[in-house]
């Protein structure tokens, strides 16, 4: 099977490519970039990408697919459908399912379900500790053999520095990146939003930025100590960005991601007590948002990941302090990035492709992804950077509707998603 | 008396204008007289239904709202957490939708979660009155405090008010800070460092200061408001012992000497006697604690009248004797 993505503009920073080219995909792999003048090879299916940007497939390295265990919120099938509709060719699935993905059996189940759904690639992330309880190491080697690409106790961060050190040392031996959700629970306990003027005003218990900062600094120090590859999930504070910046200057192997809501919204959005404004880490105040923007600009931040966290409406429709943390993100991440970052001049389109494709592939060790080099997987995200559209949560493929972005108008979106040379989504 | 109040709900003081606040206080003033009559009832809200939905323990506030509704001839129904369907697993919003289906004119809600009244207001046609939500606001308390101060001092503007104690967990403190600064008073706040976050000073644009010590806050104060230590909202120890609290942060006769000679003392109740406030002060001549309770009734009558009463039909209050 051969597919020619014709007449598009290829943006692929992995090979310094930024020009009008046709992309030929054969048997699921990139066969090469062709000049327009080379004409159309015989017997190929042609996808006309005139006026579009053709990029190596976008990888959302932080999603919650809820299966096994919470299929009423999301299934792997509904999650990958939402992913490809949002422009993501691959997703990395966090392990906080029920049961936790702390064994090869759960890892294999996730991969089987993903194969059955057959839309986006799903790369499972295993837990760091058994049951994500922070006490004993999970069987990382067994899970790696079954297909995990990284380890994380996302949402229930390893509280003990000693335990985290052991985890980093052990994971390093398997070449697994350790992903940490930085939150010192002794500081953030009971908090439901960013601590500051707004939380005091609204009478809601706050989570201080220092709760994220202290763990971020700790992880950078432990990364230095152990030489492990450490990735900080959804950084949301000035202190966390600064910790990563300093660690990188000292050549410590630390990377980080940012979630779109953390730079698209402020903590003041919690006013009105809409539980779709509740997530962890929480929406922060302006100084932190400014620091995130600066981190995106100066390459301290490596990736954009959505932290897609579906919850059923019944669970979200509670008092603010009783509702669960988390919002969906697969449908809005790329649109927000184009609208709020690229069009506002914060980052270039090349940098967007680095943030959403090249860097996630490197950090997660996904060979043959994040690039359109010859021989790479035929995963392609096609962007219409100028398309004006309105996000409607009711049209989302996700089973959940917990988004703060319903009705948002955006300029730019993914208009087609190609996985392994197959067009799995076209708007 | 005509009804110019143009809000559907009373969710907090923060979103009221000074003239709306003054209008409620003026209305309350006229209702005070009703409770001095032999027959303490006017037909103002006849045929209206007021539901008191209390998810948190309350004696004073709930009784006050209930009596207020009854003296206005409204049908008052009380629902407390233990008798509601919440114990069967129904959510707050479902409870509200069900009550709404019975077409009440007003729902008075007290809830331990900040923002619960705001959430109700979005889905209910009935007027929602916040009778205290978590650590957020307690608007009728601030209004009754203001009525009490105005009655004794003749004004709010220009007064120096000290608010002392557990500010962090106090909805009374928040509502009072919003109200008093809107009406031109200067507010000083003090208490243990763990219960008075430094960012609290940014709550309002001007008129609010955080003081390091209780004594500094009391200095020259015209009004001393003492807050209750809210042990039920404290998930960890914010101070070492009640003994130390009483010594370092409690308001007593000696400490009060720093205040203005004619300073008044207030407390929203219920009081931890001998801890945040010594008994000689609480029961002394400067204490207006029972005036506050009496004014609470007038304020709640005014609020119910303005929100559930003539407002929507253009009626005027009928205060005539029956």
What are the pLDDT digits (tens) for B286-317? 999 999 999 999 999 999 999 987 544 444 55
pLDDT of residue A211 exceeding 80: yes
Mean of pLDDT over chain B: 91
Residue A307: active-site member: yes
CATH code assigned at B92: 3.40.50.1370
What confidence tier does B230 reach under pLDDT thresholds 50, 70, 90? Answer: confident
B234 φ, ψ (degrees, to nearest 5): -95, 110
Say yes or no: B62 and B81 in one domain: yes
Structural domain count, chain B: 2
Question: Are residues B272 and B300 located together in one domain of the fold?
Answer: no
Q: Which domains does chain A have, with CATH numbers?
A: 2-53+377-426 (2.30.40.10), 58-364 (3.20.20.140)
Residue A414 has pLDDT above 70, yes or no: yes
Answer yes or no: do B136 and A318 touch at CB < 8 A.
Answer: no
Chain B positions touching A189 (Cβ under 8 A) are 235
Mutate to test the interface with A, among B15, B189, B199 (most CBs of A within 10 A): B199
CB contact under 8 Å between A321 and B197, yes or no, is no
- Set of chain B residues whose Cβ sits within 8 Å of the Cβ of A316: none
Q: Is residue B130 part of a domain?
A: yes
Q: What is the pLDDT of residue A105?
A: 98
Neighboring chain A residues of B171 at a CB cutoff of 8 Å: 203
For residue B4, what pLDDT band results from cuts at 50, 70 and 90? low
CA–CA gap between residue A129 and residue A135 (Å, rounded) = 6
C-beta separation of A239 from A210 below 8 A: yes
Chain B 101-120, residues with CB within 8 Å of chain A CB atoms: 111, 113-116, 118-119
Q: Is residue B1, in this structure, part of any structural domain at all?
A: no
User: For position B83, what pLDDT does the model report?
Assistant: 56
Regarding whether B178 and B282 lie in a shared domain, the answer is: yes
The helix (H) or strand (E) run that includes residue B32 is: helix B18-32
Instruction: Note whether A204 contacts B171, CB cutoff 8 Å.
Output: no
> What pLDDT score does B322 carry?
40
**Chain A CB contacts of B111 below 8 Å:** 319
Which chain B residues are within 8 Å of A203, Cβ to Cβ? Answer: 114-115, 133-137, 171, 174
Instruction: For residue A297, give the H/E element and its range.
Output: helix A286-297
Average pLDDT over residues A155-161: 94
A106 pLDDT above the threshold of 60: yes
| pLDDT tens per residue across span B163-186 | 999 999 999 999 999 999 999 999
Q: Where are the beta strands (DSSP E) in chain B?
A: 49-54, 75-80, 106-111, 127-133, 160-164, 186-190, 208-210, 223-226, 264-266
Domain for residue B51, yes or no?
yes
Tell me how many degrees the CA angle A320-A325-A331 measures, rounded to the nearest 5: 115
Q: How far is CA B48 from CA B54, B63, B123, B124, in A?
A: 19, 18, 20, 16
A287 or B237, which is more confident: A287
State the nearest Cα–Cα gap between B135 and chain A, in angstroms: 4
Looking at the predicted structure, is the pLDDT value of residue B89 above 90?
Answer: no
Instruction: Report the distance separating Cα B99 and Cα B93, nearest Å.
Output: 10
Distance from CA of B169 to the nearest CA of A (A): 8
Domain that includes residue B97, residue range: 18-137+293-312
Q: Judge contact between A339 and A412, C-beta under 8 A.
A: yes
What are the Cα distances from residue A169, in Å, to A224, A397, A421, B126? 11, 39, 38, 60
Looking at residue B6, its pLDDT comes to: 87
Tell me, yes or no, whether B122 and B144 share the same domain.
no
Model's pTM, two decimal places?
A: 0.94
Instruction: For residue A219, give every residue at least 6 positions away whose Cβ sits within 8 Å of its Cβ, in sequence order, or none.
Output: A164, A180, A182, A230, A232, A243, A254
Residue B297 covered by a domain:
yes
Helix (H, G, I), strand (E, B) or coil at A331: coil
B chain contacts of residue A193, beta-carbon cutoff 8 Å: none
Q: Quick: pLDDT tens for A390-399.
A: 999 999 999 9
The answer on B52 and B181 residing in a single domain is: no
Q: Is the ipTM of this complex over 0.85?
A: yes
pLDDT in tens, A360-395: 999 999 999 999 999 999 999 999 999 999 999 999
Co-location of B154 and B169 in the same domain: yes
With CB atoms and an 8 Å threshold, state whether A203 touches B135. yes
- CA A345/CA A328 separation, integer angstroms: 26
Taking an 8 Å cut-off on Cβ atoms, the answer to whether B115 and A322 are in contact is no
Query: Both B170 and B124 in a single domain?
Result: no
A65: which 2 tokens? 């697919």
- Give the residue-averaged pLDDT of A238-255: 98
pLDDT for B3 beyond 90: no
Is residue B203 less than 8 Å (CB to CB) from chain A? yes
Q: Does B234 touch chain A (CB under 8 A)?
A: no
Determine the residue among B115, B132, B168 to mutate to test chain A binding: the one whose Cβ has the most chain A Cβ atoms within 10 Å. B115
Active-site residue among A102, A153, A307, A339? Answer: A307
The closest of A224, A227, A195, A193 to A325, measured between CA atoms, is: A193
- pLDDT at position B312, please? 46
Q: What is the model's pLDDT at position B233?
A: 65
Q: Which two tokens stand for residue B32?
A: 């005070």
**pLDDT tier, A132 (very low <50, low <70, confident <90, very high otherwise):** very high
- In terms of CA atoms, which chain B residue is nearest residue A203? B136
Q: Do B111 and B176 fall within a single domain?
A: no
Is there a contact between B115 and A314 if contact means CB atoms under 8 Å apart?
A: no
Residues in chain B closer than 8 A to A201 (CB atoms): 14, 174, 203
Mutation target among A319, A323, A324 for the B interface, most CBs of B within 10 A = A319
Give the nearest chain A residue to B111 (CA atoms). Answer: A319
Whether residue B93 lies within 8 A of chain A, CB to CB, comes out as yes
Quick one: which of B297, B268, B288, B266 has its CA closest to B28? B297
B177 and B234 housed in the same domain:
yes
Both B255 and B308 in a single domain?
Answer: no
Residue B13 lies in a domain: no
Q: Which residues of B touch A314 (CB under 8 A)?
A: 91
The pLDDT tens digits of the residues spanning B22-37 come to: 999 999 999 998 888 9
Q: Are residues B277 and B151 in the same domain?
A: yes
At residue B309, the pLDDT reads 78
In a domain, B62, yes or no: yes
On the question of a cis peptide bond just before residue A299, with omega within 30 degrees of 0, the verdict is no
Q: Nearest CA to CA, how far is A220 from chain B (Å)? A: 29
**Over the stretch B40-69, which tens digit does the pLDDT of each residue have?**
899 999 999 999 999 988 888 999 999 999
Among chain B residues, the shortest Cα distance to A271 is held by B115
pLDDT in tens, A169-188: 999 999 999 999 999 999 99
Q: Side-chain half-sphere of A9: how many Cα atoms within 13 Å?
A: 11
What's the pLDDT score for residue B90?
83
Q: What is the pLDDT of residue B237?
A: 85
Chain B nearest CA to A188, separation (Å): 12
Question: What are the tens digits of pLDDT across the range A262-274?
Answer: 999 999 999 999 9
User: What is the interface size between A and B, counted as CB pairs within 8 Å?
Assistant: 59
- B101 with B176, same domain: the answer is no
Distance from CA of B258 to the nearest CA of A (A): 29
Of the candidates B93, B116, B133, the beta carbon closest to that of A317 is on B93
> What phi and psi values does residue B210 have, to the nearest 5 degrees?
-100, 125
Is residue B95 one of the residues assigned to a domain? yes
What is the overall mean pLDDT for chain A?
97
> Does a structural domain hold residue B275?
yes
Of A197, A272, A321, the CB nearest to B113: A321
Give me the percent of chain A exceeding a pLDDT of 90.
99
């Amino acid at each position: 099977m051969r597919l020619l993505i014709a007449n598009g503009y290829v943006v692929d920073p992995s090979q310094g490519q930024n020009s009008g080219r046709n992309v030929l995909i054969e048997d699921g792999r990139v066969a090469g970039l062709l000049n327009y003048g080379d004409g159309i090879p015989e017997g190929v299916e042609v996808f006309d990408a005139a006026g579009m940007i053709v990029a190596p497939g976008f990888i959302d390295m932080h999603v919650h697919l809820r299966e096994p265990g919470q299929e009423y919120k999301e299934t792997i099938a509904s999650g990958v459908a939402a992913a490809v509709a949002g422009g993501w060719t691959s997703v990395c699935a966090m392990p906080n399912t029920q049961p936790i993905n702390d064994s090869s059996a759960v890892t294999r189940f996730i991969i089987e379900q993903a194969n059955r759904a057959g839309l986006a690639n799903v790369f499972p992330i295993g837990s760091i500790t058994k049951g994500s309880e922070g006490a004993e190491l999970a069987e990382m080697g067994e899970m790696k053999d079954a297909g995990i690409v990284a380890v994380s106790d996302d949402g229930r961060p390893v509280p003990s520095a000693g335990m985290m050190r052991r985890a980093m040392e052990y994971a390093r031996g398997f070449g697994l990146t350790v992903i940490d959700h930085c939150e010192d629970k002794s500081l953030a306990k009971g908090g439901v939003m960013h601590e500051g003027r707004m939380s005091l005003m609204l009478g809601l218990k706050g989570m201080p930025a220092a709760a994220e900062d202290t763990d971020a600094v700790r992880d950078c120090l432990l990364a230095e100590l152990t030489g492990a590859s450490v990735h900080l999930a959804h950084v949301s504070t000035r202190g966390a960005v600064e910790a990563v910046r300093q660690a990188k200057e000292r050549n410590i192997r630390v990377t980080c991601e940012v979630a779109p809501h953390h730079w698209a919204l402020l903590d003041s959005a919690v006013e009105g007590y809409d539980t779709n404004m509740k997530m962890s880490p929480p929406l922060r105040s302006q100084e932190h948002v400014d620091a995130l923007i600066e981190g995106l600009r100066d390459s301290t931040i490596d990736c954009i990941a959505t932290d897609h966290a579906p919850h059923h409406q019944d669970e979200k429709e509670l008092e603010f302090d009783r509702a669960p943390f988390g919002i969906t993100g697969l449908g809005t991440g790329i649109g927000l990035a184009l609208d709020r970052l690229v069009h506002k001049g914060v980052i270039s389109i090349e940098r967007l492709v680095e943030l959403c494709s090249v860097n996630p592939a490197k950090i997660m060790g996904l060979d043959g992804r994040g690039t359109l080099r010859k021989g790479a997987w035929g995963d392609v995200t096609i962007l219409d950077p100028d398309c004006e559209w309105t996000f409607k949560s009711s049209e989302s493929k996700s089973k959940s509707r917990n988004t703060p972005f319903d009705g948002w108008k955006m300029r730019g979106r993914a208009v087609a998603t190609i996985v392994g040379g197959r067009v799995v989504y076209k708007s | 008396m005509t009804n110019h109040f143009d809000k559907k709900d009373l969710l907090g003081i923060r979103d009221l204008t000074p003239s709306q606040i003054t209008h409620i206080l003026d209305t309350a003033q006229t209702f005070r007289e009703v409770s001095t009559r032999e027959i303490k009832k006017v037909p103002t809200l006849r045929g209206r239904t007021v539901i008191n939905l209390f998810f948190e323990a309350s004696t004073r506030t709930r009784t006050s709202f209930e009596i207020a509704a009854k003296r206005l001839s409204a049908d008052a129904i009380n629902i407390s957490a233990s008798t509601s369907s919440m114990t069967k697993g129904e959510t707050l919003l479902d409870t509200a939708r069900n009550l709404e289906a019975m077409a009440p004119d007003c729902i008075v809600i007290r809830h331990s979660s900040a923002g619960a009244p705001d959430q109700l207001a979005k889905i209910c046609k009935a007027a929602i009155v916040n009778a205290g939500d978590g650590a957020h606001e307690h608007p009728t308390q601030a209004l009754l405090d203001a009525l009490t101060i105005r009655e004794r001092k003749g004004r709010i503007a220009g007064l120096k008010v000290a608010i002392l104690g557990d500010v962090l967990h106090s909805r009374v403190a928040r509502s009072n800070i919003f109200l008093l600064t809107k009406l031109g008073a200067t507010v000083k706040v003090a208490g243990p460092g763990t219960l008075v976050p430094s960012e609290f000073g940014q709550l309002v644009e001007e008129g609010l200061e955080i003081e390091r010590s209780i004594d500094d806050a009391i200095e020259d104060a015209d009004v001393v408001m003492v807050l209750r230590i809210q042990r039920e909202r404290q998930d960890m120890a914010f101070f070492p012992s009640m003994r130390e609290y009483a010594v370092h942060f409690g308001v007593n006769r000696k400490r009060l000497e720093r205040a203005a000679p004619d300073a008044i003392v207030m407390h929203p109740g219920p009081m931890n006697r001998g801890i945040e406030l010594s008994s000689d002060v609480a029961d002394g001549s400067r204490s207006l604690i029972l005036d506050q309770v009496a004014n609470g009734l007038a304020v709640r009558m005014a609020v119910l009248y303005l929100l559930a009463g003539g407002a929507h039909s253009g009626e005027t209050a009928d205060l005539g004797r029956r």
